């Protein structure tokens, strides 16, 4: 296990360097003068330009600039937003909200998805299964902002079950609707994954052995079938984390959730390049860390992985 | 011991000789020649033909392609013409079956003309993702060793940035150059690693086949084995994932346009229409609803197509139903 952990950690380093380099390259090797963008139509005094260029290392060669940026990241400094706030401060304020939203969404999609997937898989070909597959196909086809607006209009504005936007401090009851919307995309995938995994596991020899030993269905289904079917679902959560981040950006924008996603959403709408880069970098780092954790968890759950 | 008449019983095994003409050698060849040729694609087609889901999604896709190619047949209104603010968010009238947008433009006309944008982005991204994915996946899977190590690490780096986030960065940097090609490039540039991974793992499996060993034994060059034998036999899962990627690209374009970093509002794009209609969601939800329906139906038809193709190509999935 230790060897596997070490190997996996070493693999992250080139990916981390490569991904940050790519983001940096995309932004700063492309046409456009960042200082001109900062000042708009009225050009600043030449001395000011020189001072800013010096302050942000813009006179250095590209690769040196990249190292300044990289060192900043490793020191936990993600830069400043357009309005001059430290990205770290903004993160400290918005991050807890997004974490709450994401955890709520993951909880909903896991519980509902595994439940529906398990029943569909156990009653393959039945009405429940057919309905579940149909609904999941429709949910996969609906872009998240469509689901968001439809939910906001019908459930919140028309029926009044939920608050259409999230109030100050983001109380948990306001987050339920955005979390439902955020959960809906991955819910469909989890249903399908659990279903096919359950069908596969239920056909294996050890399940037949369990039945022939005279164990009850009540014990076989949760202990023998479900537990062994969950491994692909857990790994899916890792790869799906990217979708969750993008989904959170859109959902938080629609429901006005004061989280990381809305900050990015508003930065995109206002065209604030540096802020976008800072937040995308944070999200990519988060994505890499979550995937690393999921891979390690995978190795804990399935010994075949770490000895392979 | 009872007396047995040995002359009328079966001939002794030692003396029996089967008549040679019973199974002439050329009969084996005849059977083979008469049998229907069968391979993965023929089986898949036979399977597809019997599915209503396949015909429904094929018909939907054909209609969308037709609308995209000949929008003039479906609406007499050219895009962005006769927009009168007096009609802002107006109800349907004669000749304007779906009413008007906030700017007073005909909703139906915008939807019809938006089909071409969505489809072209979808197709360009798909071609890009397919080409990059197949190149990276094929060389990594077939050559293995350091080639695999290098190509797979490059893939990991591109995979580490969720492609919509990457496209957001590219599009906000290239704010002055937004068009169908640039947005397709921005999406496709980071969407290919999944295709490469799928092809690579399939090639690792196919590489072990006897016909590959046979081709190597008779001296076929490595490069030719890869393109002529290994890649064609590994491409099935890539076809499936490509169909679904087309739907993903259409969603990505709409999402980027919705976020405001997609195509400029001079382009007919469903994502733009949805973004513009969101401010009046409370008072005029229908303006948001119709482009959403068009977008969802398009995505739905491609995803359904991908699903039936997957089921047809994968015997394991067929057995699970």
Worst-scoring range by mean pLDDT, A64-78, A220-234, B211-225? A64-78
B271 vs B277: CA distance, rounded Å: 10
The per-residue pLDDT for A48 is 72
- Judged against a pLDDT cut of 70, whether residue B25 lies above it is answered with no
Name the more confident of B154 and B87. Answer: B154
The per-residue pLDDT for B111 is 83
Take residue A55 and report the two structure tokens written for it.
């302050």
User: Does residue A128 belong to the interface with chain B, where contact is any CB pair within 8 Å?
Assistant: no
User: Does residue B282 belong to the interface with chain A, where contact is any CB pair within 8 Å?
Assistant: yes
The per-residue pLDDT for B136 is 93
Distance from CA of A190 to the nearest CA of B (A): 16
- Judged against a pLDDT cut of 50, whether residue B1 lies above it is answered with no
B267 vs B303: CA distance, rounded Å: 25
Q: Which chain B residues touch A269 with a CB distance below 8 Å?
A: 259-260
Name the more confident of B120 and B174. Answer: B120
Name the more confident of B3 and A300. Answer: A300
- Judged against a pLDDT cut of 70, whether residue A307 lies above it is answered with no
Residue ranges of B 248-277 with Cβ closer than 8 A to chain A: 251, 254-255, 258-261, 274
pLDDT class of B165 with cuts at 50, 70, 90: confident
Identify any residues that bridge with B93 across adjacent strands, giving them in sequence order.
Answer: B96
pLDDT class of B3 with cuts at 50, 70, 90: low
- Judged against a pLDDT cut of 70, whether residue B14 lies above it is answered with no
Mean pLDDT of A220-235: 82
- Percent of chain A at pLDDT above 90? 0
The CA distances from residue A222 to A122, A124, A207, A211, A228, in Å, are 12, 17, 12, 13, 9
- Judged against a pLDDT cut of 70, whether residue B47 lies above it is answered with yes
- Judged against a pLDDT cut of 50, whether residue A274 lies above it is answered with yes
The per-residue pLDDT for B130 is 94
pLDDT tens, residue by residue, B224-244 = 888 888 888 888 888 888 888
Q: Do B169 and A243 touch (CB under 8 A)?
A: no
Name the more confident of A78 and B320. Answer: A78
User: Does residue B295 belong to the interface with chain A, where contact is any CB pair within 8 Å?
Assistant: yes
pLDDT tens, residue by residue, A117-143 = 888 888 887 888 888 888 888 888 888
- Judged against a pLDDT cut of 80, whether residue A225 lies above it is answered with yes
Average pLDDT, chain B: 80
The per-residue pLDDT for A179 is 87
pTM metric for this prediction: 0.81
The per-residue pLDDT for B127 is 94
Q: Do A246 and B174 touch (CB under 8 A)?
A: no
User: Does residue A135 belong to the interface with chain B, where contact is any CB pair within 8 Å?
Assistant: no
- Judged against a pLDDT cut of 90, whether residue B43 lies above it is answered with no
Q: How many C-beta atoms surround the C-beta of residue A74 within 10 A?
A: 9
Long-range contacts of A172-178 (CB under 8 A, 24+ apart): A172/A100, A172/A104, A175/A100, A175/A101, A175/A104, A175/A257, A176/A104, A177/A151, A177/A152, A177/A255, A178/A101, A178/A105, A178/A148, A178/A251, A178/A252, A178/A254, A178/A255, A178/A257
The per-residue pLDDT for A33 is 57
Mean pLDDT of A74-103: 78
ipTM of the complex: 0.80
Of the segments A112-116, A219-223, A234-238, B314-318, which one has the largest average pLDDT value?
A112-116
pLDDT tens, residue by residue, A140-164 = 888 888 888 888 888 777 777 777 7
B225 vs B244: CA distance, rounded Å: 29
Q: Which chain B residues touch A12 with a CB distance below 8 Å?
A: none
Of the segments B25-34, B70-79, B299-308, which one has the largest average pLDDT value?
B299-308
The per-residue pLDDT for B196 is 92
pLDDT class of B132 with cuts at 50, 70, 90: very high
- Judged against a pLDDT cut of 80, whether residue A191 lies above it is answered with yes
Q: Which of A188, A193, A292, A289 is nearest to A233 (CA)?
A: A193
pLDDT tens, residue by residue, A20-57 = 888 878 776 555 555 555 565 666 677 777 776 666 66
The per-residue pLDDT for B129 is 94
Q: Do A22 and B173 touch (CB under 8 A)?
A: no
Of the segments A54-63, A65-74, B176-185, which one has the largest average pLDDT value?
B176-185
């Amino acid at each position: 296990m230790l060897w596997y952990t070490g190997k996996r950690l070493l693999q992250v380093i080139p990916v981390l360097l490569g991904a940050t380099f790519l983001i940096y390259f995309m932004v700063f090797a492309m046409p456009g003068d960042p200082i001109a963008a900062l000042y708009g139509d009225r050009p600043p005094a030449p001395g000011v330009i020189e001072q800013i260029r010096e302050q942000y290392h813009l006179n250095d060669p590209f690769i040196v600039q990249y190292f300044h940026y990289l060192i900043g990241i490793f020191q936990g400094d993600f830069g400043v937003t357009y309005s001059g706030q430290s990205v770290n401060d903004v993160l400290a304020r918005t991050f807890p909200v997004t974490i709450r939203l994401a955890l709520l969404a993951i909880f909903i999609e896991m519980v509902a998805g595994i439940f529906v997937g398990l029943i569909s898989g156990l009653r393959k070909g039945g009405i429940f299964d057919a309905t579940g597959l149909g609904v999941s196909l429709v949910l996969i086809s609906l872009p998240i902002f469509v689901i968001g607006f439809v939910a906001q209009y019908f459930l919140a504005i028309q029926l009044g079950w939920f608050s259409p936007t999230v109030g100050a401090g983001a109380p948990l009851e306001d987050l339920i609707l955005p979390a439902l919307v955020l959960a809906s995309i991955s819910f469909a995938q989890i249903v399908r994954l659990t279903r096919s995994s359950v069908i596969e596991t239920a056909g294996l020899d050890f399940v037949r052995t369990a039945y022939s030993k005279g164990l009850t269905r009540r014990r076989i289904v949760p202990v023998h079938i479900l537990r062994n079917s969950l491994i692909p679902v857990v790994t899916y959560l890792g790869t799906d984390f990217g979708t969750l981040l993008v989904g959170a950006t859109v959902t938080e924008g629609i429901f006005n959730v004061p989280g990381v996603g809305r900050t990015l959403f508003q930065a995109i709408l206002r065209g604030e390049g540096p802020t976008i880069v800072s937040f995308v970098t944070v999200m990519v780092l988060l994505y890499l860390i979550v995937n690393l954790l999921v891979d390690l968890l995978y190795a804990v759950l399935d010994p075949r992985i770490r000895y392979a | 011991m009872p007396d047995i008449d040995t002359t009328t019983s079966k001939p002794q095994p030692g003396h029996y000789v089967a008549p040679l003409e019973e199974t002439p050698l050329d009969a084996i060849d005849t059977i083979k020649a008469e049998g229907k040729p069968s391979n993965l694609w023929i089986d898949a087609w036979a399977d597809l033909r019997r599915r209503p889901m396949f015909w429904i999604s094929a018909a939907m896709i054909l209609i969308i392609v037709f609308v995209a190619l000949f929008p003039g047949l479906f609406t007499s209104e050219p895009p962005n013409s006769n927009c009168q603010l007096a009609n802002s968010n107006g109800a349907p009238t004669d000749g304007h079956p779906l009413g008007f947008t906030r700017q007073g433009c005909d909703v139906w006309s915008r939807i019809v003309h938006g089909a071409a944008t969505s489809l072209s982005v979808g197709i360009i991204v798909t071609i890009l993702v397919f080409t990059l994915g197949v190149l990276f996946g094929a060389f990594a899977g077939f050559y293995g060793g350091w080639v695999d190590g290098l190509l797979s690490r490059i893939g990991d780096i591109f995979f580490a940035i969720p492609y919509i986030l990457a496209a957001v960065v590219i599009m906000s940097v290239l704010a002055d150059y937004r068009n169908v090609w640039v947005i397709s490039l921005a999406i496709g540039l980071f969407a290919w690693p999944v295709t490469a991974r799928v092809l690579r793992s399939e090639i690792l499996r196919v590489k072990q086949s006897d016909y590959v060993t046979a081709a190597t034994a008779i001296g076929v060059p490595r490069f030719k084995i890869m393109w002529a034998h290994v890649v064609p036999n590994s491409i099935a899962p890539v076809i499936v994932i490509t169909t679904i990627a087309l739907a993903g690209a259409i969603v990505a374009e709409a999402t980027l346009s919705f976020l405001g970093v997609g195509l400029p509002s001079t382009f007919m794009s469903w994502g733009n229409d949805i973004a513009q209609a969101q401010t009046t969601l409370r008072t005029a939800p229908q303006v948001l609803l119709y482009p959403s329906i068009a977008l969802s139906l398009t995505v739905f038809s491609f995803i359904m197509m991908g699903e039936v193709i997957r089921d047809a190509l994968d015997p394991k999935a067929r057995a699970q139903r």
